[in-house]
Structure 1
Amino acid sequence: MKHLRLIFLLALVVGFSPAALAGADDDYAAALKSFQDGDVVGAMPGLRRAAATGHTKAQVLLAEILDRSEFDEEAVVLYREAAGKGDADGMFGYATMLAAGEGLKQKDPVQARGWFEKAAELGHRQAIGVMAQAHLRGELGVTAGEQQSPAALRWIEMAAKLDYLPAVDALALAYRGGGSLGLEANPRLAGQYQAQSDRLRGIDPARAKKKGRRVVPLIEEK
């Protein structure tokens, strides 16, 4: 982390050196390539120029670098601006900082949930997983009643389609016994979700059956 911070401080100096300004898209494209090649210092000048013009993708990538370098106050400003323009990655980044209280006076899990939900509605895979997890664990202000609501089932089913293991396990358990998440027992669906769970865990169902294995669903991240 100290090494990354030193790199970032050097990049600040480089980023503000006199240079001919290219278009924001060109700056971002060049900066992205440098970043993907592992050259954070080389990426910073173009990212800062592009972000200063309001280039959303540049703002998000710059915010990510700042966040990793523990320059949280500047990162949260960039994430917030990108989120306000409807960028799903910006929404997710801003929500993450709200949930952790990074770059802010305090945590705001309820507001974080709102931004995670907005990102999830746009198809952001990580945000969908967070929404499912929040309803499984009662996090981000999700109440006990909300954990058994149709909304909870929707997020959990969406996450299961993305192979989010805790969601898959929750559905296998719910369909096996019935009652949970407002679902009735359904052996066929329970079997489908159990098979998906086995696949994600790399378990051979045939061998597990021979051993009389009993799976205990795990409600936690992989």
Structure 2
Amino acid sequence: MEGSGTATFVIALVGLVFSVVSVCWQIANYFLHGPRLRVHLRVAVHDDATLEAGEHYSIWSSPARRSGTNLSWLSDLGASRSTPSAVPPRYTREAFIIRVVNVGRTPVSVFFPNLWFDRRHYWGVNTRPFKFEMNGFYLLNPGETRDWIEPMWPGIEQYRTQCPERRVVVRAVVALGDGRTQRSPWRNAWKVPDGMTRLLPDASAN
């Protein structure tokens, strides 16, 4: 009887080990072959003519280069025209760039990305794809990167009106074809100082 009990325990233990290995393999397989996106929120400036022609905007920040995520830092940079990173004076429009990268091995359907302020407040009224066409969902292939551009201040001002007591912190969010959402990380959240209404220096004041 004792030997029979030991054998039963061993069989149960082996079954448990195989179950754990199977679950771990399914999780690993999902991360290797399932949909995987990275979402970045960047700051850009542009002028109307080149943007309408689908030609160019100037990325003024990137996760690898910026020293912080406070917009006042970029405002100080823009005020110093002697720096190599200073933008051309003709760039007068300020925008957020929502960059979506498919780092997985399968295509992923994405919908228009939005700015995300908190669990209840989104903004994407004027979000539009840059240099490509999309109607409804867009199929993002493995290794593909796409940018959406959104004017910076309308969404910020609406959020300030609705939530005047809260600090403005902006992230990006994109809807996926399976109903899930993907957000830019907290380390990529842009903090907007109280009272700030523009990023570039006012050229008319010069």
Q: Is TM (by shorter chain) over 0.5? A: no
* Structure with more helix by fraction: 1
> TM-score interval w.r.t. the shorter chain?
under 0.3
Q: Which has the larger radius of gyration?
A: 2
TM-score, normalization by structure 1: 0.24
